[in-house]
């Protein structure tokens, strides 16, 4: 047990290290401003747990791998999510007040208050601390890539952190960084506020829509009026329409086409406890573990990554995990993301200096236990679906807790 705990701790440290490296590598979106302006971001996501038979809400809540590994992000339970953030160069007055008036179809009341977090705390109330330095974790990872029935030549890429020099260790995690991926955050001399917050944290209802007129106003922000069209509303959820195979023989999964998606990316992670090896696969045609891709991406980045054959085109609806790469894993999980077209509005238009800019960034995500097809049999949409399936907790090897225990090795 002690060895397993040490391995899990190493995984957490490793992923925190990766996140910090990504944060350093991505420049602030406002670093090149000539005239400071107010930035307003709406982060819009649709999430699906991916565990068949699992209800949404508190009873079916399942933390995403990002949350489990200290990377933040999705809660993992099915539903719509919304986060609002503002950065204003005016600075905070002694009695800061700001709010976002929303359209009636959002079904969340007339307005959402924007509140400044307590000093030294993150937007969700956790202490905003970052260690001064990280000790290099000791672990072994193997990385595969590509939608194919068999492992392609030149794979896997092996990462052995214990044997790597500091320079080699840094190069191991050089990945593709996306403009617009980092959230807004407090900065010296500027005002920052967000929603949800300590004053209002209501859930986004299933029938909520963002389409219509929006008005952000307050005593430290300019009046920000804009509209969201139906094409930039919440994205449709990811639905896995078919899953076939097993880790030893390969695994094929299909999903519904999402009309407003600009591209798709999938990654899977498993853990072989016998060799203490983390096994990672991604849908990219070129080597890419996807450290920084399971998040919001700008329109330009998605187009570039599609050209580079890292992100799957929006016309894709099927992928195959190569045969045998997870055969020794005690658990494995697929994470899937559909990128949505961003809406970017700047006021006023050139040649005048801008006063404010709005970004509406969107994604739709899901998770799927890789062992499911072999352990549960057919799902709806397969050739031989049983008339009735037992709840997942009745089936050995497919409960969410058992899958995660297999992946993380505890």
Highest-pLDDT range among 77-91, 120-134, 211-225, 392-406: 211-225
Q: Is the pLDDT of residue 172 over 80?
A: no
Q: pLDDT tens across 299-356, in order?
A: 999 999 999 999 999 999 999 999 999 998 887 889 999 999 999 999 998 888 999 9
Identify which of 76, 12, 58 has the alpha carbon closest to the alpha carbon of residue 368. 76
Q: How confident is the model at residue 162 (pLDDT cuts 50, 70, 90)?
A: confident
Q: What is the mean pLDDT of the chain?
A: 77
pLDDT at 145: 96
DSSP state of 211: -
The CA distances from residue 366 to 61, 244, 381, 392, 400, in Å, are 13, 17, 18, 17, 14
- Distances in Å between the Cα of 8 and the Cα atoms of 170, 254, 271, 396 are 21, 31, 10, 23
Does 10 or 195 have the greater pLDDT score? Answer: 195
Domain boundaries, the chain: 2-28+35-122+138-408
Candidates 105, 100, 102, 294; CA nearest to 197 is 100
Token pair in block for residue 95: 């009695």
Backbone dihedral angles phi then psi of residue 281, each to the nearest 5 degrees: -135, 145
């Amino acid at each position: 047990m002690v060895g397993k705990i040490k391995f899990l701790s190493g995984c957490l440290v490793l992923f925190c290290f990766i996140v910090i490296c990504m944060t350093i590598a991505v420049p602030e979106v406002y670093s090149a401003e000539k005239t400071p302006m107010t930035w307003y971001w709406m982060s819009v996501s649709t999430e699906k747990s991916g565990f068949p038979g699992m209800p949404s809400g508190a009873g079916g809540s399942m933390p995403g791998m990002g949350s489990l590994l200290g990377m933040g992000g999705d809660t993992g339970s099915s539903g719509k999510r919304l986060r609002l953030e503002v950065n204003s160069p005016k600075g905070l007055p002694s009695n800061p007040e700001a709010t976002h008036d929303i359209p009636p179809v959002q079904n969340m009341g007339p307005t959402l208050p924007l509140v400044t977090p307590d000093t030294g705390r993150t937007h969700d109330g956790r202490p905003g601390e970052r260690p001064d330095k990280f000790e290099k974790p000791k672990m072994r990872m193997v990385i595969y890539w590509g939608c194919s029935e068999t492992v392609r030549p030149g794979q896997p890429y092996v990462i052995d952190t214990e044997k790597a020099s500091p320079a080699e260790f840094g190069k191991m995690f050089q990945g593709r960084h996306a403009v617009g991926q980092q959230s807004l955050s407090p900065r010296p001399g500027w005002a920052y506020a967000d929603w949800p917050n300590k004053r209002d944290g209501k859930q986004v209802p299933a029938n909520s829509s963002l389409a219509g007129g929006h008005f952000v106003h307050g005593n430290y922000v300019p009046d920000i009026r804009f509209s969201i069209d139906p094409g930039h509303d919440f994205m449709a959820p990811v639905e896995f329409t078919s899953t076939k195979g097993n880790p030893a023989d390969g695994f094929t999964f299909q999903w519904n086409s999402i009309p407003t998606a600009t591209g798709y990316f999938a990654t899977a992670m498993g853990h072989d406890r016998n060799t203490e090896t983390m096994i990672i696969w991604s849908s990219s045609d070129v080597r890419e573990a996807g450290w920084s891709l399971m998040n919001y991406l700008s329109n330009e980045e998605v187009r570039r990554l599609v050209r580079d054959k890292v992100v799957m085109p929006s016309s894709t609806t099927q992928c195959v995990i190569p045969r045998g790469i997870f055969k020794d894993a005690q658990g494995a999980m697929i994470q899937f993301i559909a990128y949505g077209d961003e809406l970017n509005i700047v006021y006023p238009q050139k040649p005048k200096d801008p006063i404010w800019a709005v970004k509406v960034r969107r994604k739709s995500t899901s998770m799927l236990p890789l062992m499911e097809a072999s352990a549960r049999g057919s799902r709806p949409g397969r050739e031989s679906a049983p008339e009735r399936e037992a709840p997942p907790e009745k089936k050995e090897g497919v409960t969410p807790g058992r899958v995660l225990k297999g992946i993380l090795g505890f």
